[in-house]
Amino acid sequence: MYGIDKKVQFRHKVNSANWSSDQQAWSLAVDADGTPKTFQCRFMLMCTGYYDYDQPLPTVIPGIDNFAGKVIHPQFWPEDHDYTGKNIVIIGSGATAITLVPALAEKASHVTMLQRSPSYIVTLPAEDPLAKLALRVLPPMAAYQAVRWKNVGLMILSYQLSRRRPRFMKSLIRRGVQRQLPPGYDVDTHFRPNYDPWDQRLCVVPDGDLFAAMRRGEASVVTDQIETCTERGLQLRGGRELEADVIVTATGLTLVALGGLSVAVDGHEVKLSDTVVYKGMMLSGVPNLALAIGYTNASWTLKADLTCKYVCRLLNHMRKHGYDECIPAGVDPGLIREPLLNLASGYVLRSVDELPSQGAKRPWRAHQNYAFDVLDLRLSAVEDGVMRFSRGGAPTAAAAPAAATPVTATPAAA
């Protein structure tokens, strides 16, 4: 682990963070496995994502107490659970469900994915043939960059086509699914969503493993709604009963910003929904705080990598110029605000009022485009006239803030 584990405080949960302009530092109230502790830092990088890892989205199934089998939420999967030879019903149609189906089908008697409505599903190779070729003919770093930009380009093309030519993309995705399924399969009932591609996330199956399990008869998809739960399984509104030994509720997650901790500046609580993201990684009016949020339409780590490199630029700039504080400021009162996450998924819409917003123009725009973010985060000047810098609380005419002791917060560590 290259010694990284020695830098991590395990079993520590950050409950609150308060910025002191007098001390030019954050004070963190931390629960260290039951023992209260206080940490101080000059800069805080939040790597908590935006999911609630303690409380999943509640699943309300009428009559669930009648079920004689086991009910499992994927977020809290029991490590010792043996499902060999069991009939499993997975409720849901998102990324979690389509990942679980082929994995559980290897040992289960049969796995049924029960969905209220379909999702877009595309097949990609688990191993990139271009990557293999590039590694044979190019130096490792050049091959890595070539494959990365190829993947970025394809993702941008896919996303832009989806937004500009949704009917074409619908047809393309449908043909891809149809090729994976037996002749005569009812594709439109089970794999034709009632929204456009990228209104919600596209789901990817490596090497078509979901469809392979269906072709082998190990898995199936049912599109219907639940009437009630019986002792033996699920009674559907369409009249069918799905017998099950195990029910898996892959029905979504709950969103929470900054890992759920409360944030204050000089004792005044920050209402996150009042803030606007700066370059997709800092919050208006909040000093010395950055958050790593990945893309909704591409690899999470692409944006997280850019964010971390920008934070390093910012901290080095602060150290070089002796700045103590940086704060994104000067939001135009007339700035058009939009939701931070550009998805129409139910779990996103339910939490949109709890998250920061984004603006309609730079630098308050949270791009879902790697090329634009390279310009904003890697190539643009740190001093852009929007970021305000100060030494010891006194504003300067120049550019960035502190460096001393950065703290990175993850879902499990401060």
d(CA 96, CA 102): 11
Q: Are 119 and 190 in contact (CB under 8 A)?
A: no
The whole-number pLDDT of residue 403 equals 36
Residues near 175 by beta carbon (within 8 Å), at least 6 away in sequence: none
- The Cα–Cα gap between 199 and 334 comes to 27
Calpha distance 158→296 (Å, rounded): 13
The reply to whether the predicted model has a pTM over 0.75 is yes
- Using DSSP, state whether 350 is helix, strand or coil: coil
b/e sequence 76-100, b meaning 16+ C-beta within 10 Å: eeeeeeebeebbbbbbbbbbbbbbb
State the first-to-last Cα distance of the chain, in angstroms, to the nearest integer. Answer: 18
Residue type present at position 111? V
Domains of the chain, first to last: 4-53+255-409 (3.50.50.60), 64-249 (3.50.50.60)
pLDDT score, position 173: 93
Nearest-10 Cα torsion for 138, 144, 146, 147: 120
Pairing of strands 262-265, 268-269: antiparallel
Largest CA distance in the chain: 72
| Ranges of the chain with pLDDT below 50 | 396-405, 411-414
In the numeric block, the tokens 């293999």 are attached to 132
